[in-house]
A and B are shown apart, each in its own frame.
Chain A
């Protein structure tokens, strides 16, 4: 289990399906259907709420089980068609945090039918050196699907067209943030620990402000919560060979446990539980560097009268670009960590002093 760098056929197929699906914030149906198919026969009950969260429930068998919420977000960053310029050219807006420098020259898929398109870039033959130096503004960019289709309308969504691939002990794909987390939670639901009431939220609209998690936590009203996300690994060597002190986390060093980010100070009791579990099970782990950013935990822990929460992330290079990279071992170790933690979670964890 720990350190495993292999994916079986079933996992590979699932990740491929999840990562190649398109689920922009506010329109997560495609990913939701894939998940539903995977979990339907394993859960006690489920519902899709008003915002589109898929809320799955698996009852525990012990007498007074803790209600434990798990959350991973279904949505991804991408684009929304804003206007039809004719001749297959479309103006668009970005959805979620996107660096415009990433866009020119990228292949995209557009609309429910995944119509292929490209975000055009002026070829180098025809640019001046100042063109190449300056940032290209969003107003100058277009999604080009070529003429002849009348299926795309303003309001339709688009995503990067990257196919999911295995590369040795790594995975390359779009939307690893947070389909990796989604895949982890599917696996947990399929082998749910019996000692707790498991409340699993596959959330919507995380990339636009943790919106789905907010209402999901209100509905579940859990005793505590774990969020599984993917956090950027900025662990490449620094160009001038100086010590890289802001790497956020490292690829291959195990699940990244959160202590503090811009939206949450993790519950110290839950951090300790995760660390102790890692040590006991021989699972490698790292702390995500305290700093900015946020996960669904930012919304969950402030819900109702307060919900002790912590996040675990699978490190991912090149987050919020067309192609991210993650290590299979980090993915597998996150599953192992979560599974072992849930099985061994003490009933009295919340009556312990919060320190």
Chain B
């Protein structure tokens, strides 16, 4: 599992530019699914099983994209101005390294700091790729980049860029690998453009028209010094989402998840997230409505270059997902 997580998190694929991660995931699941396709927005869809008498059509969504940066202007001296793709926090940027999708590495520099108490805003930062003029700068307006930060295994805890949401992708890949018997027709959807507004999930859910939708994504925690109050911590099990910033999980789905976790003796936490949301929000509002929920992997320092998860939570999330998919469902 760790090797898989490393491979997934060290791939550079910001929203809209998911080609590389799609290739990586595709090669992992090629032999595991009955059918694999890529839709118009680049979502990678792996289908497993045919729904029988007691079966449902289930859509799982974990997003492949990560937050990133996009070049907006190259100045005469070859410095690159940029804006964010997805929720980029300025305080995580200065002196960080980035890698463009075309392979070029750069460091984020900033204008003169006038007040040390204040974080430089994105418009005061630039990327330095070692160019000396606009003519020898290998980057042009519109090129995209993501954080450059290697995966690190601390033992039980793992840190990497893009745990959000490669960890959800890892759980889905592992579930696809371990799932033996299921009465359901399951769509493992590795979605695109989640970080810019759940766009890939919006269109893939329309195409699939599922009976039930579940997203697998990270959620924040309340277990660090002076953290925002939140009853989710690292290592205490996957979090079953009850509510987030934009979704009220279907109560039947929540009950089904809790019941399944209790029966299989899988530790879990109840998640109430005040801000932010996941692909499940888009699935829930598709066509005439879809019962939807979310299994969250607790994660510290979300949207920074070093996001931390606990391997036990990851494995338990996989177990919970497999348990959910293995039996008939009556909501």
B16 touches A287 (CB 8 A): no
Among B71-79, B251-259, B295-303, the one that faces the other chain is B71-79
B41 within 8 A of A: yes
Determine the distance from Cα of A308 to Cα of B80 in the docked complex, in whole angstroms.
28
Known: A302-B202, A350-B40. A265 touches B16 (CB 8 A): yes
On chain A, the residues within 8 Å of B71 by CB distance are 290
Within 8 A of A (CB), among B71-118: 71-73, 75-76, 81, 83, 85
Interface positions, chain B 37-65, Cβ under 8 Å from A, are 38-43
Prevailing SS type, chain A contact patch: loop
Q: Would A355 and B141 count as touching, CB distance under 8 A?
A: no
- Indicate if the CB atoms of B142 and A287 lie closer than 8 Å: yes
Distance A350 CA – B38 CA, assembled complex (angstroms)? 11
Interface contact A306-B41, CB-CB below 8 Å: yes
**Given known contacts A306-B40, A354-B19, A245 and B141 CB-to-CB distance under 8 angstroms:** no
Asked if residues A265 and B15 are in contact (CB atoms below 8 Å), the reply is yes
Measured in the bound complex, the distance between the Cα atoms of B143 and A271 in whole Å is: 12
| B17–A306 touching, CB < 8 Å | no
Q: Which residues of B contact A302 (CB under 8 A)?
A: 199, 202-203
* Residues A305-322 near B (CB distance < 8 A): 305-308
Q: Most A CB atoms within 10 A — which of B72, B83, B193?
A: B72
In the assembled complex, the CB of A32 is this many whole angstroms from the nearest CB of chain B, namely 29
The distance in angstroms between the C-alpha atoms of A301 and B15, with both chains bound, is 15
Q: Would A305 and B207 count as touching, CB distance under 8 A?
A: yes
B70 at the interface (CB under 8 A from A): yes
Distance in angstroms between the alpha carbons of A301 and B43 in the assembled complex: 13
Using A259-B70, A290-B70, A355-B17 as known contacts, say yes or no to A305 and B206 having CB atoms under 8 A apart: yes
Q: Specify the chain A residue showing the minimal Cβ separation from B20.
A: A355
Interface size of B by CB at 8 A reads: 34
A116 contacts chain B at the CB level, 8 A cutoff = no
- Asked whether B19 lies within 8 Å of A305 as measured between CB atoms, the reply is no
Asked if A241 CB lies within 8 Å of chain B CBs, one says: no
By the criterion CB–CB under 8 Å, are A307 and B40 in contact?
yes
| A246 and B142 within 8 A (CB) | no
Q: List residues 243-275 of chain A with CB under 8 A from any CB of chain B.
A: 243, 245-247, 259-260, 263, 265-266, 268, 271
| A346: Cβ under 8 A from any B Cβ | no
| Complex contact A246–B40 (CB within 8 A) | no
Tell me whether A304 is interfacial, beta carbon within 8 Å.
yes
The reply to whether B199 and A301 contact each other, CB–CB distance below 8 Å, is yes
| Chain B residues near A266 (CB-CB < 8 A) | 16
Q: How far is the CB of A199 from chain B (nearest CB, A)?
A: 16
Contacts A289-B72, A305-B203; A265 near B196 (Cβ below 8 A): yes
- Determine how close the nearest CB of chain B comes to the CB of A276; give it in whole angstroms: 15
- Residue A353 at the chain B interface, CB threshold 8 Å: yes
Say yes or no: A259 contacts B142, CB within 8 Å: yes
Closest to A353 in B: B19
Q: In whole angstroms, how far apart are the Cα atoms of A271 and B71 in the complex? A: 16
Digitize B185-220: 1 where CB-to-A-CB distance is under 8 Å, 0 elsewhere.
000000001001101101110110000000000000
Once the chains are docked, how many angstroms separate the CA of A217 from the CA of B174?
A: 37
Q: Which of A260, A304, A307 contacts B70 (CB 8 A)?
A: A260
Whether A245 lies near B75 (C-beta < 8 A) is: yes
B224 within 8 Å of A (CB atoms): no
A68 shortest CB reach to chain B, Å: 14
Query: What's the least CB distance linking B141 to chain A, in Å?
Result: 5
- With A354-B19, A354-B42 known as contacts, the answer to whether A260 contacts B85 (CB < 8 A) is yes
Q: Is the CB of A290 within 8 A of B207?
A: no
Distance in angstroms between the alpha carbons of A266 and B169 in the assembled complex: 24
Q: How far is the CB of A207 from chain B (nearest CB, A)?
A: 20
Q: Name the distance in Å between B110's Cβ and chain A's nearest Cβ.
A: 14
Q: Binary interface profile of A, 272-295, with partner B (CB < 8 Å = 1, else 0)?
A: 000000000000000101110000
Q: Is B123 an interface residue (CB 8 A)?
A: yes
Q: How far is the CB of B299 from chain A (nearest CB, A)?
A: 24
- Which residues on A sit within 8 Å (CB–CB) of B39? 305-306
On whether A306 and B207 interact (CB within 8 A), knowing A243-B75, A246-B123, the answer reads yes
For B73, what are the chain A residues with a Cβ–Cβ distance below 8 Å?
245-247, 289
Q: Hey, which chain B residues are within 8 Å of A246, CB to CB?
A: 72-73, 81, 123
B203, A304: Cβ atoms under 8 Å? yes
B contact residues around A306 at 8 Å (CB): 39-41, 43, 200, 203-204, 206-207
Q: Mark B9-47, 1 if CB is under 8 A from A, else 0.
A: 000000111110000000000000000001111110000
Partner of A287, one of B85, B141, B204: B141
Whose C-beta in chain B lies nearest to the C-beta of A247? B73
Closest partner residue, chain B, to A243 (CB atom): B75
6 closest cross-chain pairs (CB), A and B: A265-B16, A306-B203, A305-B207, A355-B19, A306-B40, A259-B142
What are 11 A-B residue pairs whose CB atoms fall within 8 Å in the complex? A243-B76, A245-B123, A246-B73, A246-B123, A260-B16, A271-B142, A290-B83, A305-B39, A306-B204, A306-B206, A354-B19
Query: Contacts A245-B81, A290-B83, A305-B203 given; 16 further ones with Cβ under 8 A?
Result: A245-B72, A260-B70, A265-B15, A265-B85, A265-B199, A266-B16, A287-B140, A287-B142, A305-B204, A305-B206, A306-B39, A306-B41, A353-B19, A354-B38, A354-B41, A355-B19
